[in-house]
Amino acid sequence: MEKELRAELVWDPHPEKRDKIIAMYREANLESRKGWPVHLDGMADVIRRFRNAFRGRMRTLDLTADSGGED
């Protein structure tokens, strides 16, 4: 997955919870507005890569199955 996304991911599965977290972090100085266009372009690129990587996988999930976890 990380190779496909060209990024290191942080996986936090929260086994005790229904919500799962997959994150990617990068350094950014958000106090400088000059860099905002670059950061926004970068975020849009990451969103596209996540969508492309996960779209097919999400379609195959059985969301009707009871995981026995938190509602």
Between CA 71 and CA 65 the distance in angstroms is 12
Q: For residue range 27-42, list pLDDT tens digits in order.
A: 889 999 999 999 999 9
Token pair 């938190």 is found at: 70
- CB of 28 closer than 8 Å to CB of 50: no
| Residues of the chain scoring pLDDT < 70 | 66-71
The label of the residue with tokens 């926004």 reads 40
**pLDDT in the model for residue 69:** 55
49 close to 2: Cβ distance less than 8 angstroms? no
In 10 A of CB 7, how many CB atoms?
Answer: 16
